[in-house]
Amino acid sequence: MLSILVPTDYSPEAKNALHYAYQFALYTNSNLVLYHAMPAIVPVTEMPFESYYLDEDEEQQMLLDTYTNFISGLGLNPVKVQVKALVDMQTQITTGIKEAFEKSNCDLVIMGTHGASGFRKVFLGSTTAKLISNAIFPVIAIPGTYKFAPVYHLIYASDLQELNDELAVLIPFAEVFHAVLEVIYFDYAGPESEKLMMDAETYILSLSYKNITLSIKKGNLQLNLAENLRKHINYNNTQLLIMYRGSHTWVDNLFMGSNSQKMVLESGLPVLILQKIID
């Protein structure tokens, strides 16, 4: 059973992510921890300073009521998923999310985005960029209009340089869903390509988890990696894209990136961001 942290600001995108998280929790027999950061208010009048603070118990109850009413309004049963609410006062939202994640012993964060353009706003903004760049926990970013679908096909683009370490993290996640993990490698006919592909195929065959496929695609040197990837994804048969944060990973360039690199996100698919742990 996973414990999933769901940050919310009550926006439509956050509610859509909550809907996804509810379905995700049902599908994986997991529980949810709803988190809301209350603003720290600075008094500007002669009123007592304490009166400017929102009541934590009331905020927690409002958060639970919002969940119950929202899920019930979708014709779903909110009690089918174990839920608790956590609120605190924060001026730095990313700090609050990290502390909530650790305090509640969570395994995963699910949060909303606004689509392709919103992805940059959420993940490259002054607060959440810090969360993604510094956090060691996994985050699933849900586009604002995406509806949950059972996860049976995951896609991960790899240069195969560190595939053993990457699969050590990816396989347990795929096992949760009994999903096919498709590793895509773009062959640019470099001097090391043939050996990398042979080593990767041998290693994948040696693994006990058999739902892994290695797809070799001819890379187009006129396109960047994100554009090559977009050309080869079957969006009707893919429920999750996986990206790594860490050294030597193309997702770092994507976050920094150009308009063409952002194209990979225009599919509206959820994106799982994992932090590569470096020994």
Per-residue pLDDT of the chain (279 residues; tens, 9 = 90+): 789 999 998 888 889 999 999 999 999 999 999 999 876 554 555 555 444 455 778 889 999 999 999 999 999 999 999 999 999 876 677 788 888 999 999 999 998 876 444 444 544 444 444 555 555 788 888 887 888 988 999 999 888 988 998 899 899 889 988 999 999 999 987 788 899 999 999 999 999 999 999 999 988 888 777 778 778 888 889 999 888 765 445 455 544 444 434 544 565 788 888 776 544
Cβ atoms of 108 and 2 within 8 Å: the answer is: yes
CA atoms within 13 A on the CB side of 135: 27
Q: Does domain 3-142 have CATH number 3.40.50.620?
A: yes
Name residues whose C-beta falls within 8 Å of residue 117's C-beta, 6 or more positions apart in sequence.
Answer: 262
pLDDT score for 120: 47
Same fold, 3-142 and 153-275: yes
Which architecture does CATH list for 153-275?
A: 3-Layer(aba) Sandwich (3.40)
For the chain, how far is it from start to end, CA to CA, in angstroms? 27
Quick check: pTM over 0.85? no
**What are the sequence ranges of the domains in the chain?**
3-142, 153-275
H or E stretch covering 250: helix 250-256
Residue 264 CA to residue 7 CA, distance in Å, equals 25
Backbone angles phi, psi at 45, to 5 degrees: -125, -170
Cβ atoms of 7 and 59 within 8 Å: the answer is: no
Which residue, among 278, 156, 141, has the nearest Cα to 212 in the 3D structure?
Answer: 156
Residue 89 CA to residue 80 CA, distance in Å, equals 29
Backbone angles phi, psi at 217, to 5 degrees: -120, 145
H or E stretch covering 116: helix 116-123
pLDDT score for 19: 96
Cβ atoms of 211 and 180 within 8 Å: the answer is: yes
pLDDT score for 173: 86
Residue 173 CA to residue 240 CA, distance in Å, equals 11
Cβ atoms of 53 and 89 within 8 Å: the answer is: yes
Q: What's the angle, vertex CA 236, arms to CA 234 and CA 240, rounded to 5?
A: 80
Q: Please classify residue 119 by burial: count the beta carbons closer than 10 Å to its beta carbon, then call 0-12 exposed, 13-18 middle and 19+ buried.
A: buried
